[in-house]
Amino acid sequence: MPVAAPAEQVWSTLSDLQRVVPCVPGAEITSLDGEDLVGKVRVSLGPIKVAFNGQAKVGMDPAKREGWLTGRGRDAGQGSSAEGSARWTVIDDGASASVIAVVLSWKLSGPLAQFNRAGLVQDVVRRLAATFAENLEAAITGAAPPRRKALGGLGLIWSIIRARLFSGL
């Protein structure tokens, strides 16, 4: 995902989890102790609304500008659960631009798993990544506070439909 900021500045922000987690729609940290993180992620897809409470391990390699996270969470209300991992690298893309290369893997179970079709999940991840990049740029430049909305709802669904309908134009 492209970010309009120098790589060192992007890495500095990504390394500060208290600063970067609010850039992820619906996410919050409830506890952070070294590499151990406890948090919540709220997701809304149509009639399904879940609030995952979970734990994760986070690691950072400043020399390579790489980070990783592995975790799992559960939603008590719907009975859905998720586990997964993320690995990211900040790459220089000129004097004032960077690219964050991200590799994700996940496993969903429970009612939310019905949305685990490759196309839909990829669309949701793309939209989430774009929103995260916008929020990260705002956090870096101080242009606007990061959005604190949950992932999902009609706005997310409409953005996916719009992208599928008009992506060839």
Between 1 and 64, residue with greater pLDDT: 64
What are the tens digits of pLDDT across the range 38-50?
999 887 766 667 8
Contact in structure between 100 and 6 (CB atoms under 8 Å): no
Q: At what angle do helices 153-166 and 118-141 cross, to 10 degrees?
A: 110
* Residues whose CB falls within 8 Å of the CB of residue 154, separated by 6 or more in sequence, listed in order: none
Record the pTM: 0.75
Question: Tell me, what's the pLDDT at 165?
Answer: 58
Q: What domains, with CATH codes, occur in the chain? A: 2-166 (3.30.530.20)
Integer Cα distance of 30 and 71 in angstroms = 14
- pLDDT of 67 > 90? The answer is yes
Integer Cα distance of 68 and 58 in angstroms = 6
